[in-house]
Structure 1
Amino acid sequence: MRTLLIDVWKRLTPWSKSADVYANDTDNAYPERMDRLINNSVTSKSAAAIMVQYLIGKGYGEQNDTIIVNKSKNTKLIDFACDVAEALVKQRGVYIHINWNALYQIADFSIIPYEWCRLGKADSNDYHGKIAVCKEWLKPKKTDIQLIDVYNPDKRVIDAQVEKAGGWDKYKGQVLYISMDTGLIYPLSRIDSVANDCDSEAQASVYKNRLLRKGFFGNTLVVTRPLIGDGLEPGSKALIEAESEREKFQQAIKDSLGAESTGGVLCLEMDFAGEKLDDAILIKQIESKIDDKLFNYTETSVRENILVAFNNLPAGLIKTNETSLFGNSGEAIREMKRTYWENTTKERNLLTSIINQLLQKSQDYPSLKVEPQKLIDDAAVNNPK
């Protein structure tokens, strides 16, 4: 048991003295690593995109494009919602920068890339008062790290922060930090438990690609009797002419076999017994060494694990070859959509709550409350035509 526990990989969050932040894993690169694993896995990337869509539904109606949440960046509500949803789907956490005005209203807000943010030191109440923002955490310089106050709408807190900053014109605002793992310093990525599966899917693709590009698969082997006889002096005219004839012969073979559309032609010379043509030349196609059954089993297995990590995403919503799913006016597909809409309720409610919380404290939309439009009508599921 002790050996097994040692072998199990665990994400750690040690204190980094050099950067004065809690590192997100021992190399402080956990968010980047998880994001790369998702992007390298076709199933994870597709699943993440679908889950984001289910969090925002069909959007927020006419407010999608009419509401600008950040005028300096011309960020529309729907674009902001998509960015927040993507962070919640992939990293299960999000950082949002908020600027206040002198009336203690939110002037604008925008998402900060999750990979850029780390938490500063906690006080005796385990409260982290600062968010450290840096574009590169591998070997960060203190001068590249920007410290911003954690979100707190209390007017007295904002006044104290503004005074400490030297006035409103120098105030950096606050960062709202949302974590779906409240018991941890940083949330675990959605693919944390299937990270190896994501990597296996990517490596399987790399392996097959290397076999096709650099292996012998698709090549044609041509074996002939020696094309140059023994006893020719090195550098002699006879040897030069013989080598020229050999090159012409081998090129003719490649041209006749259409080498430009195959893996290539390998020419080998060796002695044969017999006088028949079949005894003088042998042409053999080299078959693939890719075990399709093994790869199919492995890829199916890892795909299923990854889909479970994305709130049990039905495989049929990504891709299916089963025409039966489209029978009965697509009833099976509609049922999958309805089921996954329910599976993503927690994340969708969190996203909607974040947006409404910001809008209600904003200077422009304090009375606005949005709700995502459903992707599928319940009546269509219960009463399919």
Structure 2
Amino acid sequence: MRTLLIDVWKRLTPWSKSADVYANDTDNGYPERMDRLINNSVTAKSAAAIMVQYLIGKGYGEENNNLIINKNKNLKLIDFADDVADDLVKQRGVFIHINWNALYQIADFSVIPYEWCRIGKTDSNDYAGKVAVSKEWLRPKKVDIQLIDTFNPRKKVIDAQVEKAGGWEHYKGQVLYVNMDTKLIYPLSRIDSVADDCDSESQAAIYKNRLLRKGFFGNTLVVTRPLVGEGLEPGSHALLDAESEREKFQEAIKDSLGAQNTGGVLCLEMDFAGEKLEDAILIKQIESKIDDKLFDYTETSVRENILVAFNNLPAGLIKTNEASLFGNSGEAIREMKRTYWENTTKERNLLTSVINQLLQQSQDYASLTVEPLKLIDDDAALNNTE
């Protein structure tokens, strides 16, 4: 028996000599590709937005939400939390830039777009001392790559980095890298296993759109006997008159079918046998080529797969038009919310831990510890949750 081995696509992280970083896939474009697939899939984009909300909950209280944690960017704590949650949900990793002051306190922090960051050289202990930051990684130029030290709060380490940089005024700070796939250099995106499903949903929409815009759907086919006889001399008055009559006839056909069909009429001339009127002209409506049942099955299938990738997000939290979901005072919806709150516990705890770690080492909020307000806590709150 012969065994057929099927190559399964795998994300690789080869060393890029030209950029001195570990590439995120062979073309170094994995994060951008995953982000694009999410944005092109209505289900994935909606699921990501809902999951982010479940990581943040109802926020950290109005006062804490509005705390400014980066004065240069006028960045509020709740906005920072949203940025971290967004990358944890989509990429399952996040890069956070941290600036220290001379008292070894965190002066400010903010998220660097995940797509901009790559890991530099590692030592014998697989520790990478630098994070490379660039807005372009497909064809990067070394002059455009900024190297920033990885996060290490030890005073001796910070002192050494400041000295090497030429003083505090030249110090670029550090980057805290949170990786949810600790065995990998870069985490796999949440949609890695359903990337084809995200693309299928997007391509199905594109296909239907093209059929509607450029296909024959809804057009009317008019078949007649030849309107211009054979044997007429090119350029002759007889030929010109015949062609003029043809144009008038075709315009009359379009007008008779209604303004909504203008531009959607195909006129075809061919020989017919017989002398009856129905043998001289044929009008036929071209039917749609869109198989609604096939598309419905395909779209339902890929939607379910995508929702599973987002920690088994209940479909009812995205699509809630079924009357049955609102029975028993909305108990079905409440149960979905309870379930999904539990499903997102790991990511929510990670987000909260990262925020508190930074706050406790900050110059302004060292005594502050935050906890997200639950989306679901009691029946009164559930009745007010949208």
SS in 1 for 2:149: strand
SS in 1 for 2:298: helix
1:4 aligns with 2:5: yes
SS in 1 for 2:5: helix
Map 1:277-316; keep pairs closer than 5 Å. 277-316=277-316
5+ residue gaps in structure 2? none
1:100-128 CA distance string (max 9 Å, x none): 00011110001000000000111111111
Residues 51 and 89 of structure 1 are in contact (CA less than 8 Å); yes or no, is this contact kept in structure 2?
A: yes
Quote the residue 2:27 is aligned against.
27
1:350 aligns with 2:350: yes
CA RMSD of aligned residues (A): 1.8
Residues 307 and 314 of structure 2 are in contact (CA less than 8 Å); yes or no, is this contact kept in structure 1?
A: yes
Deviation at 1:27, TM superposition (A): 0.7
1:186 aligns with 2:186: yes
Q: 1:200 to 1:176 in 2, by over 3 A?
A: same
1:146 aligns with 2:146: yes
Deviates more, 1:201-210 or 1:148-157: 201-210
Residues 69 and 108 of structure 2 are in contact (CA less than 8 Å); yes or no, is this contact kept in structure 1?
A: yes
1:327-351 CA distance string (max 9 Å, x none): 1111101110110011000000111
Residues 334 and 382 of structure 2 are in contact (CA less than 8 Å); yes or no, is this contact kept in structure 1?
A: no
Count matched residues: 383
Quote the residue 1:247 is aligned against.
247
- Distance in 2, matches of 1:262 and 1:251, equals 9
Map 1:119-158; keep pairs closer than 5 Å. 119-158=119-158
- Distance in 2, matches of 1:4 and 1:293, equals 34
Quote the residue 2:327 is aligned against.
327
SS in 2 for 1:162: helix
1:367 aligns with 2:374: no
- Distance in 1, matches of 2:383 and 2:135, equals 51
SS in 2 for 1:4: coil
- Distance in 2, matches of 1:262 and 1:54, equals 50
SS in 1 for 2:183: coil
Deviation at 1:225, TM superposition (A): 1.7
Q: Which amino acid is 1:176 matched to?
A: L
SS in 2 for 1:194: helix
- Distance in 2, matches of 1:80 and 1:351, equals 11
Deviation at 1:371, TM superposition (A): 1.0
- Distance in 1, matches of 2:325 and 2:382, equals 17
Map 1:254-273; keep pairs closer than 5 Å. 254-258=254-258, 260-261=260-261, 264-273=264-273
1:244-284 CA distance string (max 9 Å, x none): 11111101111221354577000011222333322221110
Q: Which amino acid is 1:18 matched to?
A: S
Quote the residue 2:15 is aligned against.
15
Q: Which amino acid is 1:166 matched to?
A: G
Deviation at 1:90, TM superposition (A): 0.2
TM-score, normalisation: structure 1 = 0.96
Deviates more, 1:289-298 or 1:270-279: 270-279
1:123-167 CA distance string (max 9 Å, x none): 111111100001100111111110000001111111111011010
Q: Identity rate of aligned residues, in percent?
A: 85
Residues 48 and 86 of structure 1 are in contact (CA less than 8 Å); yes or no, is this contact kept in structure 2?
A: yes
Quote the residue 1:40 is aligned against.
40
Residues 259 and 265 of structure 1 are in contact (CA less than 8 Å); yes or no, is this contact kept in structure 2?
A: no
Quote the residue 1:276 is aligned against.
276
- Distance in 2, matches of 1:67 and 1:282, equals 73
Deviation at 1:229, TM superposition (A): 2.1
5+ residue gaps in structure 1? none
Deviation at 1:63, TM superposition (A): 3.1
1:205 aligns with 2:205: yes
- Distance in 1, matches of 2:238 and 2:155, equals 98
Residues 219 and 266 of structure 1 are in contact (CA less than 8 Å); yes or no, is this contact kept in structure 2?
A: yes
1:59-99 CA distance string (max 9 Å, x none): 11113553011100101111111110000000000000000
Deviation at 1:218, TM superposition (A): 1.1
Quote the residue 2:57 is aligned against.
57
Deviation at 1:377, TM superposition (A): 2.6
- Distance in 1, matches of 2:173 and 2:292, equals 56
Q: Which amino acid is 2:325 matched to?
A: L
TM-score, normalisation: structure 2 = 0.95
Deviates more, 1:68-77 or 1:276-285: 276-285
Deviation at 1:383, TM superposition (A): 10
- Distance in 2, matches of 1:143 and 1:288, equals 55
Q: Which amino acid is 1:4 matched to?
A: L
Residues 66 and 78 of structure 2 are in contact (CA less than 8 Å); yes or no, is this contact kept in structure 1?
A: no
